[in-house]
Structure 1
Amino acid sequence: MAELELKAEVRENTHKGYAKQLRKEGKIPGVFYAQGETTVPIVVDEREMVKILTSDSGLIDIRLGDKRKRKAIVKEYQTDPVKQRLFHVDIMGVKLKEKLTVPVSINITGAAVGVKDHGGVLHQYLREIDVTCLPLDIPDSIDVDVSELNIGDSVTVGTLSLENATVELEDDQPIVSVLAPTVVKEEVEEVEEGELEEGEEGAGESEDAESSDA
């Protein structure tokens, strides 16, 4: 498991206006907390934070100011719904000998036979799974091979094999399935030729009657 380092500064000013100014400077306000410790307001570099969030690393080394590095995870983050930029981040310190539950992303591999040969549709139910393990055992991601899946087949949580980690879901929970293709039948109204001719004749008689009345 790859570990990335994050530098954070203690944020003395916690006013809303100051947080807005930080974002303009490419920095993100946040908090650091750990069990039995006081929550500390922090500031981190936006680019460094994006790098961590887009990596497969579940565990990071964080350095608060000039203090020593310590292990942590990104517990939660918020983004601006309009600008799609990071807005706030929560980082939690962890102890290497204490288990924790974290979300791990699912990586689909292979091309399902039911899709490529029979026109099925691959449907992924879960994008990530919560697992419980020690910090150093956090998987970078969980690979799920769908190569052998035919139409109607699924991969469930119970088929996963994780070393030193427990999945916090029922075994029969589907992760990905191959569904049958949806066939849309178009109803075509068939008009009998005889009915069409009869309708045309009726229209002609009506026109003749109107001419006589005139």
Structure 2
Amino acid sequence: MSEVKLAAETRTEFGKGAARRIRRENKVPVVLYGHGTDPKHLSLPGHDLLLALRTPNVLISLTIDGKGSELAIPKSVQRDPLKGFLEHVDLLLVNKGEKVAVEIPVVTEGELAPGAGLVELVQAALSVEAEATNIPESVVVSIEGLESGANVLAKNVKLPKGVSLAGDEEAVVLSVVAPQAEESEEEAEEAPEGDVVDEG
């Protein structure tokens, strides 16, 4: 897993007005917490942080006020609902070798059996425990040869080495939905139109 280095500055002003001023400077208000330490109120360069957050569970190496280096992962990201820019980010302090609970995106590979229908992704992400410095970007679920009605449970997903399931083992991750349901709905919609034509 790649490590992104960012330079952080300590914040001394708080509240909505201060946060707006920080964002006007193209920076993002951030809180760093964890390991029983007092939360640190920081600001980070907005564009660099936005790029870093494109990688799920990215590992961020923080230099604070030009000193030292702290490792952290994103825990909560708030975006403007209309414009999408970063409003506030919570970062969790981590150590190398430490295990953390995270959500990892689910990716499918392979092809369904002929005529099997569609894949319905019930869970877009899987809750797992992994080393903070070795969090996989995604977990791959094979759908090769699956037929209609098939389900893949969380316990059936092959996880990378060093990663363990943190959520419900019996939870359905994805289902294969038969295509007949869609066809019958279309036929039902077409039927009244046919009646109207007959009457005319």
For the aligned pair, the TM-score class normalised by the smaller chain equals 0.7 to 0.9
Residues 140 and 47 from structure 1, CA distance in 2 versus in 1: closer, same or farther, beyond 3 angstroms?
Answer: same
Q: CA deviation at 1:27?
A: 1.2
Please give the root-mean-square deviation of Cα atoms over the aligned residues, in Å: 2.2
| Equivalent residue, structure 2, for 1:176 | 174
Deviation at 1:147? Answer: 2.5
After superposition, the C-alpha distances for 1:38-97 in whole angstroms (9 at most, x for unaligned) are 111110112111112112453221221212112111111101112221110001111224
d(CA) in 1 for partners of 2:195, 2:57? 62
Alignment partner, residue 125 of structure 2: 128
Query: How far apart in 1 are the matches of 2:108 and 2:53?
Result: 19
What does residue 8 of structure 1 align with?
8
Partner of 1:88: 88
TM-score, normalised with respect to structure 2: 0.85
**Higher-Rg member (1/2):** 1
For residues 110 and 7 of structure 1, do their structure 2 counterparts lie closer, same or farther at Cα, with a shift above 3 Å needed?
Answer: farther
Which amino acid counterpart does residue 68 of structure 1 have in structure 2?
G
Aligned letter for 2:105?
A: S
| Aligned partner letter, 2:176 | V
Please give the secondary structure, in 1, of the residue aligned with 2:12: coil
1:138-177 alignment runs, 5 A limit? 138-162=135-159, 163-177=161-175
Asked if structure 2 preserves the Cα contact closer than 8 Å seen for 1:2 and 1:57, the reply is no
Any unmatched runs of 5+ in structure 1? 197-214
Q: Could you tell me how far apart the structure 1 residues matched to 2:46 and 2:18 are?
A: 16
Q: Which amino acid aligns with 2:150?
A: D
**Fraction of identical pairs, as percent:** 27
Q: 1:27 to 1:121 in 2, by over 3 A?
A: same
The answer on whether the counterparts of 2:57 and 2:102 sit within 8 Å (CA) in structure 1 is no
Q: Which amino acid aligns with 2:124?
A: R
Q: 1:170 to 1:15 in 2, by over 3 A?
A: closer
Runs of 4+ in 1 over 3 A off after TM superposition: 187-191
Equivalent-residue separation in structure 1 for 2:124 and 2:10 (angstroms): 34
Distance 1:25 1:133 in 2: 36
Structure 2: give runs of 5+ residues left out of the alignment.
Answer: none
Partner of 2:71: 71
